[in-house]
Amino acid sequence: MSRPTMETVAERAGVSRALVSLVMNNSSKVSEAKRQAVLHAAEQLGYRPNLHARNLAQARTKTLGMIINDIHNPFFAEVVYGVEAAADDYGFDVLILNGGRDAERERRAVETHLQFQVEALILVGPKLDNDDIVRASAVVPTVVVASGRDNPGADTITTDDERGAALAVQHLVQLGHTDIVHIDGAANISSRARSHGYEKAMRSLGLEPRTLRGGDDEADAEAAIVDLAETDSMPTAIFAFNDLVAAGALSTLEAAGLRVPDDVSVVGYDNTFIAELNHMSLTTVNQPRHQMGQLAIRTVLERIEDDRTEPTRIDLAPTLSVRRSTAPPRKA
Amino acid sequence: MSRPTMETVAERAGVSRALVSLVMNNSSKVSEAKRQAVLHAAEQLGYRPNLHARNLAQARTKTLGMIINDIHNPFFAEVVYGVEAAADDYGFDVLILNGGRDAERERRAVETHLQFQVEALILVGPKLDNDDIVRASAVVPTVVVASGRDNPGADTITTDDERGAALAVQHLVQLGHTDIVHIDGAANISSRARSHGYEKAMRSLGLEPRTLRGGDDEADAEAAIVDLAETDSMPTAIFAFNDLVAAGALSTLEAAGLRVPDDVSVVGYDNTFIAELNHMSLTTVNQPRHQMGQLAIRTVLERIEDDRTEPTRIDLAPTLSVRRSTAPPRKA
DNA sequence: CGATTGCGTTAGAGCGCTCTAAATCTTACG
DNA sequence: CGTAAGATTTAGAGCGCTCTAACGCAATCG
C-alpha cells in the first residue's frame, strides 16, 4: 500500500531503474518509445519521485530556506513574492518558515532549514542577533533582507532609510511646510537611520528638526500626538516611523479635532497595504520590496553557483508614493 | 569540506555509527559516558543530522505541508499561527508554500509537498478545484481550512458564514436599522453563504433584503455605493462581504459627503488587520482563525495517528467585533 | 563456577534515488 | 560482411541515516 518507487515503475515499464531515472530528469538520451512507456507506467501508478532520496543521492537539494520575521506583516509578503519569482527562474524551491517575531523561534527555524540541507538561507527582517547570523553564514550562504544591521559574513539587501526620510522631508518642504515633526521608531532596527535622515535633511534645508519618541504601532503614535496637542506645539506636518504609526497619528489627530491634510499633513513609511486604502490614503516612502526579494536570490545564487565569497551589500533607493494625506499647509 | 556525517562523529567519539544515532534520538539505553562523548564530538564538528537521510530511512517525515492562498492576506496569517502552535505540540514541522492566488501554482505546490513526502496537507483558503483536492486527499490526509466548499475525501474546517451574516444583521437591527443593504462577494467562494445568511436573517426579522453585486476589494464597493447614491436609495446601514469591501464603502461614502456611522453604518467581515485600525474602526464579523488552525492540525493528526478514515467537517461559530463604524440610525 | 540475564553496543542491510562505467544494440561504411 | 562509432540501456555502488538482530560483557544466580 505504500507509494510506488522507481523500482515499481521500472518493472511495470519493463526497463531498468536507471532508465526511469533518466526519464524523470528528462534526459535527451532516451528513446521515445521507452520514454513513453515509462511515463505511462508512472502515470498509472501515480508515481512521484521521492525528494529525500534524490537529495541524498545528489548531495544537493536545489532548495532555499527563507525565514520571515512575521507572517502577519504584509511588508514582508511582497518580498516573499520577489524571492519566489526569482527562485522559480533558477529552478529552486523555497521553503518558508515563520519567525513569529521571536529570536528563539528563528533560531530553531534556522536549525530546521539546515537539517533540510537548504543551499542558502534568506532571512527577511530577522530578529536574530549578529552571532546567530555569523554562525549560520558559516554553514551556508546567507542573505539578510530589510534589516539595516551590518551582518558580517552574510550578504545584505536594504533600502537607504536615510534617503527615504530625506524624500519625505523634501516633499513636505516643497509643499511649503517648515514645521515638521518626526515620530521615531524607538528601539526599532531601522529607526536610527530614518531619524538621522530626517534630521540631516531638515538641517540641510535650514530647518530645526524635532523628534519625538514613538514606536512601531498605533498606540505609540497616540502618546506623541497627545503630547503635541497638550503643549500646544502642533506642527503643520508629521513624518512617522512607519505606516502603522502614521495610521495612529491619523486617528489621534482626528480625535483631537484636527483634519488631515488640511490642518496637518502626515507621511508614513513602507507603503504597506494600509497606506493604499482609500480611506487612509497615506503619502509614504516606498521600498522596492519585490526587487529586494529578487536581488536576495541573485546574490545568494552568486555564492552557490559562482562561488563568490566576499560579502555583498546592496542598498536600494526608495521612492515616495504621494497620496492624499499631504497638502500645502494652511495659510497662517 | 562537506558537512560532517554520523560516521565522522562516530569516529571522533570512538564509537559506532549506530550509537551516534541512538544519542541523536536521545534513546535511554546509552551510557552517560558515551552520550557525553558523542555530544561533545558532534558539537565540535558542528554536526547536524541530515533530515533527508533520516526521512528516507524512517519512511516517515514528521512534516506537514501547508499551502496558503495568498501570503499577502493577513486573514490567513492568523490561521498559520494556529497551525504552527498545534503542530509544534505534536512535534511536527510545517513547511509553508505560497499559493499566490493561483490554482496552477497551488497545484505545483501540492506536487512539491508530496514529493517532500509530507504526512498531511493543510490547504488554507485553496483556489484548487474539487478534483484537485480529491486527488490530493487520495494520496495523503488533507484538510481544507476556510473554504466553504464541500470537499469529498478531505476534512474541512470552516466557520458558519450564514450565522456570521445573521450576527451582523441582528446587530444592526438592534441598533434600530431597518434599511440594510448587502454588498456581496460576487464570485467569491464564501459569498453565497454570507448573502444567504443575510437574506434569511432579514426576512426572519420581517425586513426586505437588498443585495448589490460587489466583489472582494475596495473598487468593487465603489460601484455599488455610487449606484446607491445616484438612485437616491442610500440605506442607513451597509453589510459588506468583507473588510476590504467595507473599507471601500467607507471611503466612497465619505467622498459622497456621507458620514460613518452618523449617516450610514458599515459592517465588514473577517476582522482583519484593517478593521482594527483606529482610523477605520470597523464593526466586523470575526472568525476564530487561530482555533481553526489548531483544529486543522488535530483533525489531520487523527488520520495520521489514529487512522480515522471518514471525512470530518467542523463548522465553528463566528462572533461579532463591534467598533465605531456602527451606530443607531439618524432620527428621520 | 558455569549458566543465565540484561544492558550497552555494533554490524549490516536497506530506505529510493543518481551517477559512473560498462554492456548492448544500431547504423554506417569500406 | 566485418567493424568502428554512436546511441541506448543497465548494473551496481553509494548518499547518510535507522533499525533489527546479534554480540560482548558484567552482574546475578543456583
Taking contacts as CB-CB distances below 8 angstroms, the residues of chain B near A53 are 52, 56
**Measured CA B205 to C1' C8 distance, in angstroms:** 76
pLDDT of residue A73: 83
- Closest-CA residue to B49 (of B22, B77, B73): B22
pLDDT of residue B123: 97
pLDDT of residue B332: 57
What residue is closest to D16 (Cα–C1')? B53
Q: Which domains does chain B have, with CATH numbers?
A: 6-49 (1.10.260.40), 59-160+288-317 (3.40.50.2300), 161-287 (3.40.50.2300)
Could you report the per-residue pLDDT of A83-126, keeping only the tens digit for each? 999 999 999 999 999 998 899 999 999 999 999 999 999 999 99
Q: Say if residue B261 is preceded by a cis peptide, omega within 30 of 0.
A: yes
In this complex, the residue of B139, B248, B277 whose CB is nearest that of residue A247 is: B277
Q: From the CA of B204, how many Å to the nearest CA of chain A?
A: 34
- Per the model's pLDDT, the better-predicted residue between A74 and A172 turns out to be A172
Three-state SS letters, chain B: CCCCCHHHHHHHHCCCHHHHHHHHCCCCCCCHHHHHHHHHHHHHHCCCCCHHHHHHHHCCCCEEEEEECCCCCHHHHHHHHHHHHHHHHCCCEEEEEECCCCHHHHHHHHHHHHHCCCCEEEEECCCCCHHHHHHHHHHCCEEEECCCCCCCCCEEEEECHHHHHHHHHHHHHHHCCCCEEEECCCCCCCHHHHHHHHHHHHHHCCCCCEEECCCCCHHHHHHHHHHHHHCCCCCCEEEECCHHHHHHHHHHHHHCCCCCCCCCEEEEECCCHHHHCCCCCCEEEECCHHHHHHHHHHHHHHHHHCCCCCCCEEEECCEEECCCCCCCCCCC
Beta carbons of A103 and A315 less than 8 angstroms apart: no
Instruction: Judge: B100–A84 Cβ closer than 8 Å, yes or no.
Output: yes
Looking across all nucleic acid strands, the nucleotide with the smallest C1' to CA distance from residue B59 is: C15
pLDDT of residue A150: 76
- Closest-CA residue to A239 (of A201, A276, A295, A206): A201
Low-confidence ranges of chain B (pLDDT < 70): 1, 332
CA–CA distance, A82 with A296 (Å, rounded to integer): 9
Average per-residue pLDDT for chain A: 94
In this complex, the residue of B51, B98, B111 whose CB is nearest that of residue A80 is: B98
Q: Is the CB of B33 under 7 A from strand C?
A: yes
Taking contacts as CB-CB distances below 8 angstroms, the residues of chain A near B2 are 59
For Cα atoms A257, A266, A180, give the angle at the middle one, nearest 5 degrees: 100
Q: Which of B71, B98, B122, B124 to mutate to test the interface with A (most CBs of A within 10 A)?
A: B71
Q: From the CA of B115, how many Å to the nearest CA of chain A?
A: 5
Helix H or strand E encompassing A183: strand A180-183
Q: In this structure, what DSSP letter does residue A182 have?
A: E
CA-nearest residue of chain B to A260? Answer: B279
Helix H or strand E encompassing A202: helix A191-204
- Closest-CA residue to A313 (of A192, A154, A194): A154
Chain B window 46-105, residues with Cβ within 7 A of nucleic strand C: 53, 56-57, 59
pLDDT of residue B72: 85
Q: Is the CB of A5 under 7 A from strand C?
A: yes
Identity of residue A316: L
Instruction: Judge: A49–B115 Cβ closer than 8 Å, yes or no.
Output: yes
What residue is closest to C13 (Cα–C1')? B57
Instruction: Judge: B71–A80 Cβ closer than 8 Å, yes or no.
Output: yes
CA–CA distance, A10 with A138 (Å, rounded to integer): 42
Give the pLDDT mean for A132-155. Answer: 90
Give the pLDDT mean for A149-158. Answer: 87
Instruction: Judge: A78–B72 Cβ closer than 8 Å, yes or no.
Output: yes
List bases, strand C, within 7 Å of protein CB. 7-12, 14-20
Could you report the per-residue pLDDT of A272-331, keeping only the tens digit for each? 989 999 999 999 999 999 999 999 999 999 999 888 889 999 999 999 999 999 999 987
